[in-house]
Amino acid sequence: MNLIVQKFGGSSVADVERIRHVARRVADSKDQYPDGVVVVVSAMGKTTDRLVGLARDISSSPSAREMDMLLATGEQVSIALLSMALQELGYKAISLTGAQAGIITENLHTKAKIVNIDTVAIKKLLAEGYIVVVAGFQGTTADQQITTLGRGGSDTTAVALAGALEAPVCEIYTDVDGVYTTDPNVVPQAHKLSEISYEEMLELAQLGAKVLHPRSVECAKKYHTAIHVRSSFNTHEGTYVKAMKDLEIHRPVTGVTSDLRQAKLAIREVPDKPGIAAQLFGALAQANVSVDMIIQSVNDNLTNDIAFTVHEDDLKSALNIAEQVARDLGAPEVIHDPEVAKVSIVGVGMIGTPGIAAAMFDALAQAQINIQMISTSEIKISCVVARQEVRKAMQVIHDKFVIDESAVNSDDILL
Ligand code: ASP
Ligand code: MG
């Protein structure tokens, strides 16, 4: 079947005028894809944030089940309005909640994973000529409890539906033209990528790029669905996120990204003996604090300093735990810095291209930016720097590596 799944985010359906605009685009697609168009929408504008605020006004710890009941209403407003707008244009359209669309999730409120999609109802409606408008971000457990997939979950709904319906492409419409080499608001020379591999997109999404939710990328990779990220405000081609062979990739670094919401802690002079790291990180895990980078430095033969980073929201609990552990071990002090940021480069091309890390460190050194911590994987390198220096760091790293492929001959791109 030649069908298409399209997702429109909250900013694309923020008001009635934009919903009408989305309806016209969806209608054009229906003329192009007569086999079927399935549309997934998010809640209008900042609706979900507003609903979260209402819940917090009532309760400091609202129950997860009722949060899902509440937040799921946001998407129901937009599916109904979009269906009405399509009907106004003379098209057959019908809205479906996650449950009606057959989206079955695990039994976990506020962050459920999709376990199965029963496509019978959607396929029947498509065969009857309907444009099917599905509420993003929500599903149902096997025993009819409404669940949500975690903030930003509509991307995952769309990609999972594309996978289940075997649509070759899932279009994600957003307020930017596609995936950029870095944030154009920080680095004016950033340019749109015409394509990017699943692996690179997943790293970028996990490291702070907001254009796609990481889970949607994992899902696309698993089901071999290409994602086309494009603007809802113009008809330019956006960025294709897809399987790419290494040979197709002629660039060592694909993107530069940053995460400003990091905090650093260090326990000084902990005894150098087995079990210390297990004790500290075990206690943090128990408190549900996820730790990102870890560095252990050797002072002498007797003690080590252990430094690590956490999300800034977790700083307070991480500090309490670290201080407790330090007391237990007789370590003299815990220091912390709430004002750090992580800057990262990502690229499948760095495999087999030596010198990328050195070049990144050199760019930072030339700009007099001190590197506080480093971590690497096969296709990424991250450095922790002072938060006030992160914009400059992104600029100098982008200048060093990222070349506009459309502007130069591909032979020039390899370092
Ligand atoms: N409305 C939900 C949120 O704001 C889901 C989404 O937009 O993807 O998180
Ligand atoms: Mg949203």
CA angle 386, 391, 397 (to 5 degrees): 100
- pLDDT tier at 411 (50, 70, 90 boundaries)? very low
Alpha-carbon distance values, 230 to 12, 79, 82, 303, 392 (Å)? 12, 20, 19, 53, 28
Residue having the nearest C-alpha atom to atom 5 of ligand 1: 152
pLDDT tens readout for residues 130-167: 999 999 999 999 999 999 999 999 999 999 999 999 99
Per-residue confidence (pLDDT) for residue 405, from 0 to 100: 57
Per-residue confidence (pLDDT) for residue 35, from 0 to 100: 87
Q: What is the CATH number of domain 4-249?
A: 3.40.1160.10
| CA neighbor of 123 nearest in space, from 102, 97, 105, 146 | 102
pLDDT tens readout for residues 258-312: 999 999 999 999 988 899 999 999 999 999 899 999 998 887 778 899 999 999 9
DSSP assignment, residue 183?
-
pLDDT tens readout for residues 339-373: 999 999 999 988 878 899 999 999 999 999 999 99
Per-residue confidence (pLDDT) for residue 398, from 0 to 100: 96
Provide the CA 332 distance to its chain's centre, in angstroms: 39
Ligand 1 atom closest to the CA of 154, numbered from 1: 8
pLDDT above 80 (res 204): yes
Per-residue confidence (pLDDT) for residue 414, from 0 to 100: 37
Per-residue confidence (pLDDT) for residue 175, from 0 to 100: 86
The domain locations on the chain are: 4-249, 256-404
Provide the CA 401 distance to its chain's centre, in angstroms: 23
Alpha-carbon distance values, 10 to 4, 241, 249, 297 (Å)? 20, 21, 33, 45
Structure token pair of residue 402 = 């990222």
Parallel, antiparallel or unpaired: strands 255-271 and 226-231: unpaired
| Ligand 1 contacts CB of residue 42 (under 6 A) | yes
Ligand 1 atom closest to the CA of 75, numbered from 1: 1
Ligand 1 atom closest to the CA of 10, numbered from 1: 7
pLDDT above 70 (res 404): no
| CA neighbor of 110 nearest in space, from 67, 46, 141, 73 | 67
For residue 48, report the distance from its CA to the centre of ligand 2, in Å: 8
Q: What percent of the chain has pLDDT over 70?
A: 96
Distance CA 381, CA 364 (A): 13
pLDDT tens readout for residues 73-102: 999 999 999 999 999 999 999 999 999 999
Superfamily of domain 256-404: VC0802-like (3.30.2130.10)
| Ligand 1 contacts CB of residue 46 (under 6 A) | no
| Ligand 1 contacts CB of residue 153 (under 6 A) | yes
| CA neighbor of 197 nearest in space, from 257, 264, 248, 130 | 248
| CA distance between the termini of the chain | 43
| Ligand 1 contacts CB of residue 102 (under 6 A) | no
255-289 burial string, b = 16+ CB within 10 Å, else e? Answer: bbbbbebbbbbbbbbbeeeeebeeebbebbeeeeb
Distance CA 400, CA 378 (A): 20
Handedness of CA 385, 390, 394, 399 (dihedral sign): negative
Q: What percent of the chain has pLDDT over 90?
A: 84
pLDDT above 90 (res 14): yes
Other C-beta atoms closer than 10 Å to the C-beta of 33 total 17
DSSP assignment, residue 34?
T
For residue 100, report the distance from its CA to the centre of ligand 2, in Å: 21
Give the position of tokens 């900013």: 11
| Ligand 1 contacts CB of residue 136 (under 6 A) | yes
